[in-house]
Amino acid sequence: MKKIAIELFGQLRMWDEQNLYKLESFLLKHKISVDYFGTFWNDEYTNSYVDKGVFKSFKKLQLLDEPEYYDNDLTKYFLSLQKSIQQRKHYQSENNVKYSFVINARNDLKITFDDASDEKFEYLLKLIEENFDKPSVFVTDVERIHTNQLDDKIFISNVMGANALMDAYDILPEFAYHKSLMDAIKICECELIRYPLFFCYNLLRHQICNSLNFKDDFFSSELFSKNNTNGDVRKYIKTIQDTQILKDEIIRLNSLRPSGRVN
**Residue 141 falls within a domain, yes or no?**
yes
**112 Cβ contact list (under 8 Å, min separation 6):** 199, 200, 201
Pairing relation of β-strands 60-64 and 109-112?
Answer: unpaired
166: nearest Cα among 147, 148, 190, 149: 190
Total domains in the chain come to 2
Quick one: 50 and 158 in the same domain?
yes
pLDDT for 260 equals 45
How confident is the prediction for the chain on average, in pLDDT?
93
Quick one: 195 and 85 in the same domain?
yes
Question: Is 148 a residue whose pLDDT tops 80?
Answer: no
Question: Is 262 a residue whose pLDDT tops 80?
Answer: no
Quick one: 22 and 50 in the same domain?
yes
* C-alpha separations of 155 from 16, 147, 262 in Å: 22, 17, 35
**Residue 262 falls within a domain, yes or no?**
no
pLDDT for 70 equals 61
Rg (CA), the chain: 19
pLDDT for 225 equals 87
Question: Is 253 a residue whose pLDDT tops 90?
Answer: yes
Pairing relation of β-strands 109-112 and 136-140?
Answer: unpaired
Domain hosting residue 43, numbered range: 2-202
**Residue 144 falls within a domain, yes or no?**
yes
Question: Is 233 a residue whose pLDDT tops 60?
Answer: yes
Q: Which residue has the higher pLDDT, 20 or 262?
A: 20
Burial label for 234, CB within 10 Å (0-12, 13-18, 19+), is: middle
* pLDDT (tens digit per residue) in 33-75: 999 999 999 999 999 999 999 999 999 999 999 998 766 789 9
**Residue 260 falls within a domain, yes or no?**
no
**Residue 263 falls within a domain, yes or no?**
no
CA angle, 92 as apex, 86 and 97 as ends, to 5°?
155
Quick one: 217 and 196 in the same domain?
no
Q: How large is the average pLDDT for residues 253-258? A: 87
Quick one: 195 and 143 in the same domain?
yes
Q: What pTM was estimated for this model as a whole?
A: 0.93
**Residue 247 falls within a domain, yes or no?**
yes
Task: Read off the pLDDT band of 146 (50, 70, 90).
Answer: low
Quick one: 233 and 179 in the same domain?
no
